[in-house]
Structure 1
């Protein structure tokens, strides 16, 4: 009897370990190729099994992707549960960032495997999409609750912006952290927490952005509208979810019209990224050309780009589409992103020198700024629920003045 129970326990343990290994391999595949691009054959190869063995644990590829996403969401909820035990909002946020950094450092040392990024969550098909999105909304609610509950509508709106920027920065961290030596990871985390705590604004700085006309390139007739529609759909549905047919249908044109503008879907995504990065860079240039303090220039740039992200027509392409691109093209896009981030860093350094900005690590702060701008697209419905200038001010305050300065509620 005892031997039978032991055999059963051993069998259960082996099943669980093999399933966890398959989930870890699936997460790696999703992070490299997106959920739609992941294959059973690739996952099987990563764990040294044949494809049939993988289907013993997960009957369909969609089931495997959903399980990988569920694992990530469970991980995030566990992190939030631990962070919520701290006494103050600042301590809770710091605890969450610290827990996440410890996880990344374990991954870097080979002690833990990565969890699946959630880029393709919205692109999942029903019936699995509904429960996953419900879990994601729970992650967001618990993150927002780090700032406390029951403080009124305005405070809840502000906490929503802070939660969104915080989560996006946790997801963006693995993109730029490898640029640092392992012994500098804790330092980078401390500098990021400093920006979250105290923002970028110097003593006495106020939020008074001036309007900046965001440049547009209409050199090719119809191309601008095509790229705008494609950008919005890719942001909403992910790289794989936004098919060529769906983009063409959105514009009420044929697939042939698509190929009149671009040779392939990868070309489309790359063109959308170039348009987005060109928009950011041109806005930075326009703000510099107007002059003023470097705090003013940064404020003007951020406000103009948030107006783009919150508009019903325009948007900048989310980095979630990167996983669908070939590795070479993906690296080119990340390099362009880093060049734009360095320009933000330069503006911050000049602002620090003139005394209009706090002494922050501008390289870390600029990466936080890129994540903050990138994520704003997902807050459009939140922004549409209030006057636009208030939405821009609330969202901008998360990094410009820090995540715990409530004076924006009084403005």
Structure 2
């Protein structure tokens, strides 16, 4: 292969990966097809196969590029001395990239919401290595008191916020990204509790009462678990029915279409989240306590695995036709959290923060609790609130509870 031919080969390969990233972010691993990628480039699918044997190999290339990008953020951050400075530098590097991306000055990268659906060894190994490098940001001065389990949980929280930021950043103008970076950094490092406030969430009753635990709830719960594990396309009617030992006929008795089922699963999630907020307001003395009470209850629900909430990653792979209404529902829940944050600022329990960004970050933290157990081996049930929720409110570097 001549140098000119080699350059042309690499250029075409790069174009294919860039096209695949867009399809991957829009449809997820299982929804992306080589035909989608080829169509965006004006070529036939065999033109893609010449460079990548199958879509799994192509998706792997997309995720490996994304890992390399995050490794770059870490490399910039490692130059700082203290843990606080390192986390701030990582956050700044991330937002600088998103700003360049929004201006068309940097290539888009794959989002990691659907990475587990690929399950390729090379990607899994690279992702774990990336996680460990990001965890090393907590090794600097200022984080000496944190245990390994606490560092793992806080690394997962830091990464989960970055993964969700791409969603709410799309609502901002690029000129506002620097401001968003400052507000996000403030929340990550200093939490949202006003001076003198203390960590004191109130217990809530079960968010799913016995009266609701009927066949319909069992069905939605099983479907939610499967969609969280395998995405919209991976959670086939056959698999959902098999998990409950039902026939396909029984499935269609409950829901006429799979899209209808996904909407019902999301609606169940929204109902549980709204219920937690209402109950928290009734038992709390101020806005901060209502926030921490609702967040603690929802994370316990999400982390238990018994009755999980549908993860926002399902939005990525859901049919485009139903995505707008689901995004609107999520925004409605975030707005409800924003109202509680405003109440806390008004009563002095929450320090002055950007209520919209804080609400989005709170939603992301609750959502990502579903994967906390993957990164915290040895975590016992009931520990997730102190280990994971509390640092969100007090700051990532605040020593854990005694």
Q: Which TM-score tier does this pair reach, normalised by the shorter chain?
A: over 0.9
C-alpha distance in structure 1 between counterparts of 2:215 and 2:279, whole Å: 25
What SS class does the counterpart of residue 36 from structure 1 fall into?
helix
Q: Distance in 2 between matches of 1:116 and 1:105?
A: 16
CA contact (8 A) 2:153 2:376 kept: no
CA distance in 1, matches of 2:186, 2:266: 30
Once the two structures are TM-superposed, the CA of residue 384 in structure 1 deviates from its matched residue by 7.6
Q: Secondary structure at the match of 2:100?
A: helix
Corresponding position: 1:137 with 2:128: yes
Aligned to 2:137: 146
Query: Does the 8 Å contact 2:149/2:376 carry over to 1?
Result: no
Quickly say closer, same or farther: Cα 1:272–1:194, change in 2 above 3 A. same
2:329 is the counterpart of 1:366: no
Distance 1:335-1:156 versus aligned 2 partners, 3 A rule:
same
Residue 326 of structure 1 pairs with residue 319 of structure 2 = yes
Partner SS state of residue 35, structure 1? helix
Which residue pairs with 1:234 in the alignment? 227
From 250, 254, 268, the equivalent of 2:247 is 254
Superposed counterparts of 1:39-118, under 5 Å: 39-118=33-112
The residue that corresponds to 2:154 in the other structure is: 162
Gaps of 5+ in 2: none
Residue by residue, what CA displacement relative to the aligned partner does 1:340-388 show, whole Å, maximum 9, x if unpaired? 1111111111111211111111111111101111100001356683444
Relative distance call for 1:400 and 1:313 in structure 2 (3 A) is: same
Which runs of 5 or more residues in structure 1 are unaligned?
1-6
Change (3 A) 1:178 1:154: closer
Equivalent residues of 1:309, 1:315 under 8 A apart = yes
Change (3 A) 1:318 1:153: farther
Call closer, same or farther: CA 1:266–1:149 in 2, change over 3 Å. farther
Q: How does 1:191-340 map to 2 (within 5 A)?
A: 191-216=183-208, 221-340=214-333
In the TM superposition, residue 149 of structure 1 has moved relative to its aligned partner by: 8.0
- Name the CA shift for 1:230/1:160 in 2 (closer, same or farther; >3 Å): same
CA distance in 2: counterparts of 1:288 and 1:384, whole angstroms: 33
What is the deviation of 1:330?
Answer: 1.0
Report the alpha carbon displacement of residue 192 of structure 1 after superposing the two structures with TM. 0.6
Return the match for 1:356 from 349, 373, 378: 349
CA drift of 1:120 comes to: 2.5
- 1:163 Cα deviation from its structure 2 partner: 0.8
Question: Which shifted more, 169-178 or 218-227?
Answer: 218-227
Q: Secondary structure at the match of 2:170?
A: helix
Q: What does the per-residue CA deviation read over 1:127-176, in whole Å, with 9 as the maximum and x for residues that have no partner?
A: xx222212211121111111018989961111111111111111111211
Query: Is the counterpart of residue 30 in structure 1 residue 24 in structure 2?
Result: yes
State the secondary structure of the residue aligned to 2:351: coil
* TM-score normalised according to structure 2 size: 0.93
Give the whole-Å Cα distance in 2 for the aligned partners of 1:305 and 1:119. 20
Q: Tell me the C-alpha RMSD between the 2 structures.
A: 2.1
**In the superposition, relative to structure 1, how do residues 56 and 326 fare at CA in structure 2: closer, same or farther (>3 Å)?**
same
Determine if contact 2:304/2:381 at 8 Å carries over to the other structure: no
My pick for the range that moved more, 72-81 or 342-351, is 72-81
Residue equivalent to 2:175 = 183
Give SS of 1:328's match.
Answer: helix
